Amino acid sequence: MSAAKKTIPPEYEGFLPMTRAEMEARGWEELDVLIITGDAYVDHPSFGAAMIGRVLESEGLRVGIVAQPDWKNIESIQVMGTPRLFVGVTAGNLDSMLSNYTAARHKRKDDVYSEGGIPGKRPNHAGVVYSQMARRAFPGVPVVLGGMEASMRRVAHYDYWEDKLKPSIMADAKADVLVYGMGERAVREITRRLRAGNQDFSEIPGTTLFLGSKATAAMDFSDCILLPSWEELQADKRHLMRLTKVVEAQQTPYSGKRMVQMHGNRAVYQEPPAMPVDGPELDALYEYPFMRLAHPSYKLPVPGFATIKDSIIVSRGCAGGCTFCGLGFHQGKFLSSRSVDSVLKEVRRLANSPTFRGTISDLGGPTANLYAAKNGHVDACKKCHRPSCLWPSICPHFGINEQPGIDLLKGARTQPGVKHVFVQSGIRMDVALRTPEYMKELVQNHVSGHMKVAPEHMHPDVLRRMRKPAADFPAFMEKFFELSEAAGKEQYLVPYFISSFPGCTEKEMGAVEQFLKKEKWNLQQVQDFIPLPMTGSAAMYVTGLDINSELPIPVVKGAGDRERQKRMLRPNADPRPRGIGRDREENLDRVD
């Protein structure tokens, strides 16, 4: 028998329930799936917990969300009872250590994914803490760990904030299975098996298991790549470079191999990535009934949502392979794009919402001008293990098609109720220079006055270690100002540069300093380098080896040396608080 329905305030209707009262208003006695997240609950496709929740809801499941529970009180995750199928756990849109600490390892003064920006609402290593809580609170219920933190810590890795190597997150989390990547395909398969009474999570693409000692001893790993073990890493940190490069090379669903990393007598066993969601299936994800609002129980705004509430995601994946970024490990390097019709349908829904004021703040994705670009579409792509399709030069198989992007921009800005459509996501300047008509449309009609670009550095050696092109920024600047002048608009570029990157001393930083002086730029946005878990830059930071040549390079680690490099980028700038839009690592890692 179903529970008698109770009433809740009308503004709560449409959201996934967060309380027993909201469950009972739907006539539910129990949940099928409980999702625990380190972010505030914002029902928007940019928030991973909301997206996975809506995916499961579309499968006919009763899904509830516990957002930012009190990790010192186990009852805080038991408010809706024991779920029937499984508990899903995510630290949130960012790694919890990145959410909690700055590049200087100081506690952040705000948390942009919390109500009111109030810090301290998520624990360090939230994925581990929540998984352990779920294990204690719901004995016998499978725990499924996912999200950005899980993706980037699925094998042994370096934690910058603790300044030490750490084992796979699965060694501490005690979860039954880890889902890495975007997760929709894997979570559907997990659900299908659990509905059938099957708790075997093996052979699911895009997942990682931590096998017990008996299961490890019984497994045949002859078709797997054996990664440097946890013990080998502890004995010699230089193994981190090989580990990182091998995992990155196998980050392909077409030809990636299973990988095994031993932790004592137990194996971390990783399946190849899931195939990217594309075509009508991708369109369908963004047509779920998202409220596009923070849960009405919040009395204060969620700052991270305020920056994207009037934005629309048009694509997934990043083909750049930049060594400082985690997107390639999480979203993957293979691109997928929504159809123009699907995006315009969402534009019309947004334009009809009562809070819309006529401006779409961003029509983009990980890289806005890679919309409709293709890789993975020919046999050569499917056999390729290059981490980047764009470096050291654009691959001849990489399909660039500027017309769909032009159609999308023109179509969006001509919809009823839409006054402005801006592109705030990052763009690839090397691709922009190859698509002159798209660049003209973008610069002359879709810049809000300031356009963010990411040259990252000006020294060729440092750029090689970043996997960034060396000569595109000056050419892009010239074209940008030429097109702006032709349109009669006074527009500005807002460049991002990174200080203290591996291999960058004050000598190399001088190339950026001289460029800024020549252009008379006084930056207000500077990224002090943070080596994110599992990235190539983290491997260079730890080992002191160049990722390309594996020869020794200098690595700046002392606070004084790092501060001097930052000052070279902002010699005359007034000190301003760090926050969203200033710490570029937050923007890089805000993913679905």
Which pLDDT belongs to residue 133? Answer: 98
Cβ-contact 470, 462 below 8 angstroms:
no
Check if the beta carbon of residue 43 is closer than 8 Å to that of residue 50. Answer: yes
The predicted pLDDT at position 571 comes to 57
Question: Which pLDDT belongs to residue 580?
Answer: 27
Residue 590 scores a pLDDT above 70: no
Residue 401 confidence (pLDDT): 95
pLDDT tens readout for residues 100-125: 999 999 999 999 999 999 999 999 99
| Structural tokens at position 121 | 């609402």
Question: What local confidence, expressed as pLDDT, does residue 378 receive?
Answer: 95
State the pLDDT at residue 577.
31
Please write the tens of the pLDDT for every residue from 485-500. 999 999 999 899 999 9
Q: Concatenated DSSP letters for 188-220?
A: HHHHHHHHTT----TT-TTEEEE--HHHHHH--
pLDDT band at residue 4 under the 50/70/90 scheme: low
Measured at the CA of 521, the angle between CA 515 and CA 527, to 5 degrees, comes to 80
Query: Over 50: is that where the pLDDT of 166 sits?
Result: yes
- pLDDT mean across residues, the chain: 93
User: Tens of pLDDT along 15-31?
Assistant: 999 999 999 999 999 99
pLDDT at 586 over 50: no
Q: What is the pLDDT of residues 406-426, one digit of tens each?
A: 999 999 999 999 999 999 988
Residue 399 φ then ψ, to 5°:
-90, 115
Q: Please say if the pLDDT value at position 1 is more than 90.
A: no
pLDDT band at 569 (very low <50, low <70, confident <90, very high): confident
Q: Where are the domains of the chain?
A: 10-204, 310-588
Report phi then psi at 129, rounded to 5: -60, -45
Pick the CATH number of 310-588 from 3.30.420.40, 3.80.30.20, 3.40.50.10470, 3.40.50.2300: 3.80.30.20
The mean pLDDT value for 184-210 works out to 98
pLDDT tens readout for residues 69-80: 999 999 999 999
Q: Which residues contact 247 (CB under 8 A, 6 or more apart)?
A: 155, 227, 259, 329, 534
d(CA 112, CA 78): 26
pLDDT at residue number 5? 65
**What local confidence, expressed as pLDDT, does residue 6 receive?**
73
> Has residue 2 got a pLDDT over 80?
no
Q: Is the pLDDT of residue 65 over 80?
A: yes
- This prediction has a pTM of 0.94
Q: How confident is the model at residue 572 (pLDDT cuts 50, 70, 90)?
A: very low
pLDDT at 323 over 90: yes
The pLDDT tens digits for 393-406 are 999 999 999 999 99
Query: What does the block give as tokens for 344?
Result: 């315009």
Omega before 276 within 30 of 0, i.e. cis? no
